Amino acid sequence: MQHHRYLENFLRALGKPLVVFVSRVGQLSEFIARALYNTVTPPFYPKLLLRQIVDIGFYSLPVVALTTIFAGMVIALQTHAGFSSYGAESAIASVVLISVTRELAPAFAGLMVAGRIGAAMAAEIGTMRVTEQIDALSTLSTNPYKYLVAPRLLAGVIVLPLLVLIGDVIGIFGGYIVAVYQLDFNPANYINATVNELQPIDIVTGVVKAAVFGFIISLLGCYNGYKSKGGAQGVGEATTNAVVAASIIILIFNYIITGLFFTK
């Protein structure tokens, strides 16, 4: 009997987290299905979409610009430090280009926007949930998914690629500044090397990543806010969960998408 009790306790301890995990996955899957359906079906709220585009895109531009320009500058310095031993300084322009467009600009933009916008979405919608404003929307025959979730999802998918394209230019410019003004490269030669090495796949990879990251950030921000409960503490937990989950999933999908594009 003692062994049976130990086995029962072990299975119970193992099964409870599993049941919770499966339940959370089911809730998230249902939320994704409802969000996608309500995003592509009328009625639409163009004013809310425009507001989210401004909030996500325009106000995130300074932090994305700062992170990408310094990322480009650091890559140029580190590449020069490593390649100068082998007389391969001419490859610095191509390394900066590929690093920024394929990896650094989309990853940094995604993480910065997740920290700024994902938290804001979770806090805003979570506050509406705990103060019963979402229930009031339903009472007034307004679909919360269409009014709160759909504009944020669309804005995230639209704006993140634009932010990454701007980040590409700024990051490459950061590498140019270091190469020309600190490492004494010829400006014309550096620009020619960058233009000659630029391939469409470099830009496409970053844009695809950005669209996926924008969807992830908006989805998890809305989901954690929508499902929050327990007053101010619940809103704080939803905000933290939105940022942490979005950051981890962004890094996972960054690897997956890179593998899809560049694994033969």
pLDDT digits (tens, 9 = 90+) for 69-101: 999 999 988 888 877 767 666 788 888 899 999
% helix / strand / coil in the chain, to the nearest 5?
90, 0, 10
Task: Specify the range with the lowest mean pLDDT, choosing from 100-114, 167-181, 220-234.
Answer: 220-234
Distance (Å, whole) CA 164 – CA 159 = 9
Task: Specify the range with the lowest mean pLDDT, choosing from 4-8, 149-153, 203-207.
Answer: 4-8
Closest CA to 144 of 213, 230, 237, 225: 225
Closest CA to 210 of 134, 103, 118: 103
Q: Which position has the token pair 């940094």?
A: 108
Distance (Å, whole) CA 224 – CA 204 = 30
Instruction: Show the tokens assigned to 202.
Output: 């470099």
**pLDDT at residue 234 tops 90:** no
pLDDT confidence tier of residue 131, bands split at 50, 70 and 90 = confident
pLDDT, averaged across the chain: 86
pLDDT of residue 230: 76
* Amino acid of residue 184: D
**pLDDT at residue 5 tops 90:** no
Closest CA to 193 of 111, 263, 94: 94
Instruction: Show the tokens assigned to 26.
Output: 């089911």
**pLDDT at residue 8 tops 90:** no
Q: Which position has the token pair 């949930």?
A: 129
